[in-house]
Amino acid sequence: MSLRSLSCVAIAVGVTSSASAALITGWTMPTAFPTGTGNVPTGTIYLPPGPNGAGVADQGITAGTQLRSVHALAAATYTSPAGNGSQYAFSSNNWTPGDFYEATFSTTGFTDINLSWDQARSSTGPAAFKVFMSVDGGTNFSELFSYTVLQSGGGGAPGTWSSVTYNALYTNTLNLGVAAENQGTVIIRFQNAEAVASAAAGSTRIDNIMVYSGPVPAPGAVALLGLAGLIGRRRR
């Protein structure tokens, strides 16, 4: 068998082993957005400004998606620093209790919904966060998960976020449960659960927010899924 044939077999095996997972939608922040205040949009497509701006997903199904950040303080500033192994992340400062990042997407035709995201903070940024979910358009939210955001850089940190090096320690995964299956609209909030406001300059950044049908694939396997995995899983 030729080397080329062996390569094809290897790729086929990789796709088959990941066939149980399909990327539904995702935000990798491939482009920077204007630095400033006012809950600026993220993503590759900028929509007309709404109450807090909106950013369309750049992976998988993009229709009807948005990513935004809501802060109580108008002084909150939004920037695009290095991501976790990707060029940019979505970062904001001036965190007060209850502020959040929010991702909206559809799971129509999909089951076994899993969420993956990378998140880090500065030394003075909030560490305690919770994940909330709504499937009724934002009227009601259910708490799903509590987690601690690790510091990026500085003494004792597990590493500094880099646009070229991925660090798995900053990645969180979560199964959203049966309530998230086959829903026209799912809203996920990554909400600050600290009891007091962080320092004005204290920041948190989020990156690689990905939604899958099936188990979250290992790093590097996502590229093998492609459109074939999406079509194979949808409306099964």
Residue with tokens 């708490």: 143
Task: Give how far the C-alpha of residue 21 lies from the chain's centroid of Cα atoms, to the nearest Å.
Answer: 17
User: What is d(CA 54, CA 57) in angstroms, rounded to the nearest whole number?
Assistant: 10
At 41 the pLDDT is: 47
pLDDT tens per residue, the chain (236 residues)? 443 333 343 333 343 344 467 999 999 888 776 666 655 444 333 333 333 334 888 899 988 998 888 888 888 888 889 999 998 899 999 999 999 999 999 999 999 999 999 999 999 999 999 999 999 999 999 999 999 999 999 888 999 999 999 999 999 999 999 999 999 999 999 999 999 999 999 999 999 999 999 999 987 555 444 444 444 444 33
* Cβ neighbour number for residue 232 with a 10 Å cutoff: 14
Concatenate the DSSP letters of all residues of 147-171 into one string.
EEPPBPSSTT-S----SS---GGGE
The neighbouring-strand residues paired with 105 are 186
- Which of 192, 195, 203, 172 shows the shortest CA–CA distance to 75? 203
User: What is d(CA 219, CA 92) in angstroms, rounded to the nearest whole number?
Assistant: 26
At 21 the pLDDT is: 79
At 118 the pLDDT is: 97
* Contact of 224 with 18, CB cutoff 8 Å: yes
Prediction pTM value: 0.81
| Domains and their CATH numbers in the chain | 21-220 (2.60.120.260)
At 99 the pLDDT is: 94
At 45 the pLDDT is: 35
User: What is d(CA 207, CA 120) in angstroms, rounded to the nearest whole number?
Assistant: 9
